[in-house]
Structure 1
Amino acid sequence: MFRWFLVIFLAVIVFSAALPWLEKFGVGKLPGDVRFTVFGKTIFLPFASTILLSLLVFLVARFF
């Protein structure tokens, strides 16, 4: 359980760091992605995009 929590946490960090580059392709603007502002800081929670990218990585890894 802890292992999956750690993997998901790291995936969200990596995705958030790569978000400016990925927004050019439309990733990060899906209906399940949440973006809100608190105390002048924008917080982004990419739920749908993380699932989509995880599925893509899974399919690529499955065929190789």
Structure 2
Amino acid sequence: MKQKKKFDCVQMKWDIQQKIADEFKDISDEEANKIVMKRITENPILGSLVSKIRSSKSSVN
């Protein structure tokens, strides 16, 4: 007999996607993109990565 899982990864993913969809449902794509980029740049891990990518792109031009 199959054991009942304590943690369902698929359900968690679905719940998170629903939360994000609800959060952005009443705003334009442009505004949603601004919010997402702001969150990414403020993230302690992703923010530094974005900064490095942006600086390497500007040094190439």
User: Normalization by structure 1: what TM-score?
Assistant: 0.33
Q: Which has the higher contact order (CA 8 A, sep 6+)?
A: 1
User: Normalization by structure 2: what TM-score?
Assistant: 0.34
Richer in helix (by share): 2
Max Rg structure: 2
Richer in strand (by share): 1
